[in-house]
Structure 1
Amino acid sequence: MDLVKITAFIVALCTSIGLFLFSYFETIRICNQTGKVYGEGMVFGFSLALFFALMANELSS
């Protein structure tokens, strides 16, 4: 693999891990609230994390 592909893989993998962690902590924050809650951050973060995980998987092969 060339340097650009390896760099893109590492960036996609780190972004995916970071977004999964963001979604995890956003979910914990939402679960501890009472009343009306908004889960856009959790849904947006999880879907982006899944996208970057799939992209990292494609770049690794």
Structure 2
Amino acid sequence: LTAAQIHDELAAAYGQGVVSYRIVARWIERFSNERESLEDNPRSGRPIRGGGTTLI
């Protein structure tokens, strides 16, 4: 299936706006490169921390 076909099927099943065409195209690209998960790959650098309301 193409990205457009997958996007159309998702929109028909779950409604318009659930997932963008670009995201579907990105998933296809990732899985065609033998990925097995939609989780992001680990990255180096400072981890993002949330929960605080104070800005520095």
* TM-score of the two chains, using structure 2 as the length reference: 0.31
Q: Please identify which structure carries the higher helix content.
A: 1
Q: Which protein is bigger by CA-based radius of gyration?
A: 2
Q: TM-score, length-normalised on structure 1?
A: 0.29
